[in-house]
Structure 1
């Protein structure tokens, strides 16, 4: 009996030991399974969170983009409001809703208004969702109004682009264009037809299409197109004078014959008072053969200015100008009252940028005419946005019966920038020519279309200059 009991006890012990081992194995297996499951769940949860955050980041970007679009719309409605209609400083907060009207996020706007004489506004929009407010995306854009310098040639009067002339950029007139030269961009007229007179080679006058001539690429001729309002180009010279007095350089009537500006490649400009100037005979459409004061004989240096301190130079007298422009500025020649006191500018020599890289820009505005003197270099270059507000850009005719001279005919004229005039601009006489330039080239400066010289006139809505995601 005792032996039998011992065997039973041993058997029970063995079974208990085996059961304990199985239980431990089950516990270990369950623990491992739990760890794996929890790890998988953690990975899945992390992946879901990452996905949600990624989606939130994308949503934040679209919300920031909505902020940019909103303020572009706002500027279309109120072009001079840079405080989001509040009159106070930013940032300006806006709620963002889904198509069903439920709020899902918000954006804040930081707006940097244009500097003096500029139209460029900087907008930074930061977007975020309500669910993940710490996940933010920001976009910064620069916007600017298109300047009238976006045209290579713009005139309220008729134009004759003769043989030997090349226009690299858009040319437009509110009247008609005779195009016998070369154009590499649009040539447009606001008229379906116009009366062509002697000014564009028709004698007697006759009806012609808005754009006509022997030019080759007629696929770029467009007419009629929308008229350009030259009244909108009219400058507020009084305001510009005040800006020059406050932030630039201003000189009143000289007491003599005017002022001479010589730009230097070190980024400065010398301003002289012109004491005496010699007259030269030359012929013009408006007044025929006349003795015109154009060659400086005596002058006195008044001052030298850095262009960084002279974004606008306002001169209430006749002005001569030449040199190398290193910087950005606008020169204005105008007397008061503007409508009756005609003020002209004479370009006496090459007027060039230090480099054509966008860092240098000159606006040259006369409330009447801009003239090229008789004795310009044989290869004559003008780098500027020229604006003859009530007049034209002209080189007079030095003809056999009026001021005949060996310098009457020059080899080439190159204008880099733009030419804007109210009346018909001209510089050639005769087919050869007998006075003028054998070849003429006007090339649009793409750098000044949106970023023109300081205080240069602009129009239209704000266009995108740059878009940067931060």
Structure 2
């Protein structure tokens, strides 16, 4: 009897041990998986910190693609917590923009001190915004009449009255202005007279997606037209000194055909013909 009881106790004890070992293993694996998940998230955040850092660096040194070192990368930075302890590193690989472009490629690799074998990467491309992105840009107030449809961004350093349909963002550098097309109080920097006409400031700006599909923003920083004029003058001087410069065509302009061997063909346009129907 005692022998049978002992066997039963041993069997149940073995089962209990197996169950406890299984539970312990599951808990251990779950804890380890949770720890790795946290570490992976920390690594990607460190990589993001590297991208944010170099965006800041380029804002202050827009032509420095060597992290202020004057030598080739990669560039390693420690990331500290609030107590000054090193929690990880971000490693930057920077590809400068090609000639004639401002597009720089930055790859940031985030590594954590607790698990040096775990790393995450982020690659981003940054460029200085170009006025070529605008469909229309001006240094004075503008008006777009009814029936006008514009697909690209619109910006003015003055005010904008828009009575058509804008598929992209419309921005102005002023919060309000005196619209020269009518009398009365100042209008919003970007406003419309499409029914119902926008109220006057300081009323709340209505949404009006029927006119501004992507919205409107004002005031925003002004575009430096003085600097743009200086840049164009410098481009002209450079072309005259060490390039190709063509004065007015004396006709209707030029047609330029860019070729794959880094040359181009230039034609003077003397007349226009309608496309075949």
Normalised by the size of structure 1, how large is the TM-score?
Answer: 0.42
- Unaligned 5+ segments in structure 2 are 199-211
Compare CA radii of gyration and give the structure with the larger one: 1
* Aligned positions of 1:149-228 closer than 5 A: 149-156=132-139, 159=142, 161=144, 165-174=148-157, 182-184=164-166, 186=170, 188=172, 192-193=177-178, 216=194, 226-228=221-223
* Aligned positions of 1:407-422 closer than 5 A: none
- Unaligned 5+ segments in structure 1 are 1-14, 264-268, 270-304, 322-347, 349-372, 380-470
1:114 to 78, 89, 97: 97
Does residue 138 (structure 1) correspond to residue 133 (structure 2)? The answer is no
CA contact (8 A) 1:106 1:127 kept: yes
Report deviation, 1:176: 6.4
Q: Aligned partners of 1:121 and 1:81: how far apart in 2?
A: 11
After superposition, the C-alpha distances for 1:37-91 in whole angstroms (9 at most, x for unaligned) are 4554344333322221222111111111221222222222222222212121111
CA spacing shift, 1:208–1:251, aligned 2, 3 Å: farther
SS of match in other structure, 1:135: strand
CA spacing shift, 1:60–1:134, aligned 2, 3 Å: same
Looking at both structures, which has the greater relative contact order when contacts are Cα pairs under 8 Å and sequence separation is at least 6?
1
SS of match in other structure, 1:251: coil
| Corresponding residue of 1:233 | 228
| Corresponding residue of 2:39 | 56
CA contact (8 A) 2:66 2:73 kept: yes
Higher normalized strand content (fraction of residues): 1
SS of match in other structure, 2:239: helix
SS of match in other structure, 1:96: strand
CA spacing shift, 1:160–1:36, aligned 2, 3 Å: closer
Q: Aligned partners of 1:39 and 1:225: how far apart in 2?
A: 62
SS of match in other structure, 1:118: coil
Q: Aligned partners of 1:43 and 1:239: how far apart in 2?
A: 73
After superposition, the C-alpha distances for 1:403-426 in whole angstroms (9 at most, x for unaligned) are xxxxxxxxxxxxxxxxxxxxxxxx
CA spacing shift, 1:48–1:240, aligned 2, 3 Å: farther
CA spacing shift, 1:209–1:101, aligned 2, 3 Å: same
Report deviation, 1:36: 5.2
CA contact (8 A) 1:155 1:173 kept: yes
SS of match in other structure, 1:84: coil
SS of match in other structure, 1:309: coil
2:61 to 74, 78, 88: 78
CA contact (8 A) 2:111 2:118 kept: yes
CA spacing shift, 1:320–1:189, aligned 2, 3 Å: farther
Higher normalized helix content (fraction of residues): 2
SS of match in other structure, 1:145: coil
Report deviation, 1:98: 2.2
Report deviation, 1:22: 7.7
Does residue 376 (structure 1) correspond to residue 269 (structure 2)? The answer is no
CA contact (8 A) 1:84 1:92 kept: yes
Kindly report the root-mean-square deviation, in angstroms, between the aligned alpha carbons of the 2 structures.
Answer: 4.5
Report deviation, 1:172: 3.7
1:103 to 83, 86, 89: 86
SS of match in other structure, 1:138: strand
CA contact (8 A) 2:171 2:220 kept: no
SS of match in other structure, 1:133: strand
Which deviates further from its counterpart, 168-177 or 118-127? 168-177
The count of corresponding residues between Structure 1 and Structure 2 is: 249
Report deviation, 1:257: 7.2
Report deviation, 1:128: 1.8
